Chains A and B, each alone.
Chain A
Amino acid sequence: GAVVSQHPSWVICKSGTSVKIECRSLDFQATTMFWYRQFPKQSLMLMATSNEGSKATYEQGVEKDKFLINHASLTLSTLTVTSAHPEDSSFYICSALLHSEQFFGPGTRLTVL
C-alpha cells in the first residue's frame, strides 16, 4: 500500500519550453502532496506544498510563476516547469501525505538543453 508514481521518469527538453510532471497516489487519497528538487550530491529541497482544491504554498526563493502546481484531485498533483533553462535541470521528487507520513514518488530526471 501507499504507492506514489511519477510521470515521466525522465525528460529532455529544449531551453524555453515547458515541461509537466505528474505525481499520483495510486492506492490512497492525498489532500497534501509535496514537490522537492534534488541537485546531484545534494539533499532534497522542498519547493512547495500542494493542497487539493487550493493554491500551493511555495517555499522562499521558489518562483511560483515558473513552477506551476495544480492539485486538481485527491490523487493527482502536477508540476509544470515553465520556460525551462539549463539551470532547472535536476531530479524532481514528489511525495504524498498519508497519516502524517510522506510517501515518495520515484522521481523525474529533467535535463534542459
Chain B
Amino acid sequence: GENVEQHPSTLSVQEGDSAVIKCTYSDSASNYFPWYKQELGKRPQLIIDIRSNVGEKKDQRIAVTLNKTAKHFSLHITETQPEDSAVYFCAASSGGSNYKLTFGKGTLLTVNP
C-alpha cells in the first residue's frame, strides 16, 4: 500500500517568513495530493491540492509543487501570519474506485509574532 513520509514534524518561523513542508510517497500510481490544515480539536480543512498532471499550483500565499519522478511534493506558505499556526497534513491518493487517502504524520507549524 501507499506510504507517505512528511518532514519536518515541527516548524517554527517568525511572522512574515516562509514555511516549507515536504512529503514523499511510495506508490507511483498516486495521482492526487491534497494538503490539510487542522486546528486543535477541529476537522481537517483542505487548503490546496494538486494532481499528477500539474507540477505546481498556487493560491495566494500558498503553493504546492509536485515532482512525480522523485515522488515528492511540497507545501510553501509565504508571508506567514500567526493564524497560520496549526498542524498541516499532506496526503496521497491513487484515485481508482474509492479515492482512499493516506496521510503523512503531520507538521506542527508555529508562527511567532
Contact = CB atoms under 8 A, between A and B. Distances in A.
A-B interaction: yes
Interface of A: 32, 34, 42-46, 49, 51, 57, 91, 93, 97, 100-102, 104-107, 109
Nearest to A105: B43
For the complex, would chain A's binding face be called helix, strand, loop or mixed by DSSP majority?
A: strand
Contacts of B61: none
Contacts, number: 46
B98 A32 contact: yes
Contact of A100 (B95, B103, B104): B95
30 contacts: A32-B98, A32-B99, A34-B100, A43-B103, A43-B104, A43-B106, A44-B44, A45-B103, A46-B100, A46-B102, A49-B98, A49-B100, A51-B98, A91-B41, A97-B98, A97-B99, A100-B95, A100-B99, A101-B34, A101-B49, A101-B99, A102-B99, A102-B101, A104-B43, A104-B44, A105-B43, A106-B42, A106-B43, A107-B42, A109-B41
Interface string B42-58: 11111001000000000
Contact of A93 (B34, B44, B98, B105): B44
A36 B50 CA distance: 22
B25 interface: no
Interface of B: 32, 34, 41-46, 49, 89, 95, 98-106
A44 B103 contact: yes
A83 B103 CA distance: 28
A42 B105 contact: yes
A34 B102 CA distance: 12
